């Protein structure tokens, strides 16, 4: 068994403590959804339409995807530590910019700059892969994202409460403060895990074709993209469904909104506990099946005319459970197809995942209008969950054909 390297907390001469990696991944998740219960009140504040304010999700995810393509190769060239520290500094300033924005256009511009925090998510995974081999990486990523899943579970509830007491700006002040605190912790604790390779950035990007020729890399990317795509569609559509279809207040919406994160924490625990024993492919397959099961049952109940707020949000726990099993294992699979390109693979794979998510989030926002109810959102999510099952079945078939 590979022995993990010695780690001492707040000692940058050693690799980072798992708590630091959890915080890095967590602030990325937090910045994505803490303010979502405030979307209706932000619409009123900026005197605009819901679909315009909802672009704060889709544009954020789009820039997030583009940045992941760049962050991976830069960190493979210059190291994980400097990239993480710069991204957190920029994120903190952008969060303050969101608060001070005088109109929706400037707010959206700063919101796009906030997406730089994805560097923490990409590099927390790459650091794990630097430290331990494939099955252990899936397990450790599972534990990192299990700890991280507390953030999206609590964030909407916290955002709803902050909005109710202080208004929507409080969420962005909180993000600015957390960016500064986590930046300080990383400065103290995040020792470099990547030995800088003496190649140019152009040479790094030139190695992309080596990844892109691997069908297994594409298979893991597709499984992750479609599984998380259901969740990103939920991010784009659930605030509308909660507030407009079911008439929830920001505080109540925040509490209901965290339903997938309960499942996500359970799924990540299962990944951390069993990935080494059963292997990553089995974990991805069962995770994708569970997610699809929950969504198709939910759609059947709504089509039968028995839909309710409890049914809608309750079955979303299956999406979280499935994602908690799919994402750590698919990520480990992506990073292990070409281990010497771990940072590049994390960025490129993440970009495909988040880019698809941005499109689905925007689609959900566009299809949901007064009178449609929740069905268009459930239908989008059910279709993408089924595609995740097909993607991992293809990957398993491909791996078996390579071994035979």
Query: Within a domain: residue 6?
Result: no
CA distances from 281 to 118, 126, 140, 310, 332 (A): 26, 20, 16, 32, 10
Instruction: Give the pLDDT of residue 404.
Output: 43
Count of the separate structural domains present in the chain:
1
* Residue 5: inside a domain: no
Q: Which phi-psi region, left, alpha or beta, contains residue 197 (left: φ > 0; alpha: ψ -120 to 50)? A: beta
Confidence check: pLDDT of 67 > 50: yes
- Is residue 159 domain-resident? yes
**CATH number for the domain including 144?**
1.20.1250.20
Domain annotation covers residue 215 = yes
Decide which of 85 and 157 is more confident: 85
Is residue 22, in this structure, part of any structural domain at all?
yes
Alpha carbons 283 and 142: distance in angstroms, whole number: 11
Q: What is the C-alpha separation between 224 and 2, in angstroms, rounded?
A: 27
In a domain, 168, yes or no: yes
13 found inside a domain: no
- DSSP character at residue 242: I
- Tens of pLDDT, residue by residue over 102-138, are 999 999 999 999 999 988 887 887 787 777 766 676 6
Q: Is residue 2 part of a domain?
A: no
What integer is the mean pLDDT of 147-174? 83
Dump pLDDT digits (tens) for 259-312: 888 898 889 889 888 888 898 999 999 999 999 999 999 999 999 999 899 999
Specify the pTM: 0.76
- H helices present in 190-308, as ranges: 201-206, 208-212, 215-240, 250-257, 259-278, 280-303
How many other β-carbons are positioned within 10 Å of the β-carbon of residue 133?
Answer: 13
Question: What gap in Å lies between CA 29 and CA 145, rounded to an integer?
Answer: 10
The pLDDT, as a whole number, for residue 1 is 43
Query: Which residues span the domain enclosing 24?
Result: 18-403
């Amino acid at each position: 068994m590979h022995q993990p390297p010695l780690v001492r907390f707040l000692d940058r001469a050693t690799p980072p403590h798992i708590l630091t990696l959890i915080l890095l991944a967590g602030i990325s998740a937090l910045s994505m959804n803490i303010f979502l219960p405030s979307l209706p009140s932000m619409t009123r504040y900026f005197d605009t339409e819901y679909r315009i304010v909802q672009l704060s999700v889709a544009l954020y995810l789009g820039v997030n995807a583009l940045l992941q393509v760049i962050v991976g190769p830069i960190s493979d060239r210059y190291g994980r530590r400097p990239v993480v520290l710069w991204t957190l500094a920029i994120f903190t300033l952008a969060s303050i910019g969101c608060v001070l924005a005088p109109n929706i256009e400037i707010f959206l511009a700063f919101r796009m700059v906030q997406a730089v925090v994805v560097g923490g998510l990409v590099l927390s995974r790459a650091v794990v892969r630097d430290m331990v081999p494939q099955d252990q990486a899936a397990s450790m990523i599972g534990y990192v994202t299990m700890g991280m899943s507390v953030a999206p579970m609590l964030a909407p509830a916290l955002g709803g409460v902050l909005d109710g007491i202080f208004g929507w700006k409080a969420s962005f002040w909180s993000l600015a403060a957390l960016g500064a605190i986590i930046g300080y912790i990383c400065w103290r604790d995040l020792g470099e895990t990547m030995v800088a390779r003496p190649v140019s950035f152009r040479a790094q990007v030139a190695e992309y074709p080596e990844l892109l020729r691997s069908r297994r890399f594409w298979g893991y990317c597709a499984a992750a993209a479609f599984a998380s795509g259901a969740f990103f569609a939920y991010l784009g559509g659930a605030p509308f469904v909660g507030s407009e279809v079911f008439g929830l207040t920001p505080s109540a919406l925040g509490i209901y909104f965290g339903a997938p994160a309960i499942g996500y924490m359970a799924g990540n625990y299962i990944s951390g506990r069993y990935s080494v024993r059963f292997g990553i492919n089995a974990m991805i397959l069962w995770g994708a099946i569970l997610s699809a099961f929950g969504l198709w049952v939910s759609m059947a109940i709504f089509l039968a005319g028995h839909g309710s707020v409890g049914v809608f949000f309750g079955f979303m726990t299956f999406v979280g459970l499935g994602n908690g099993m799919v994402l750590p294992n698919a990520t480990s699979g992506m990073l292990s197809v070409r281990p010497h390109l771990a940072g590049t693979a994390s960025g490129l794979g993440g970009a495909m995942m988040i880019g698809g998510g941005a499109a689905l989030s925007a689609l959900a926002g566009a299809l949901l209008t007064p009178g449609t109810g929740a069905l268009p959102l459930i239908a989008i999510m059910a279709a993408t969950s089924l595609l995740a099952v097909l993607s991992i079945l293809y990957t398993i078939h491909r791996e078996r054909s390579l071994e035979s």
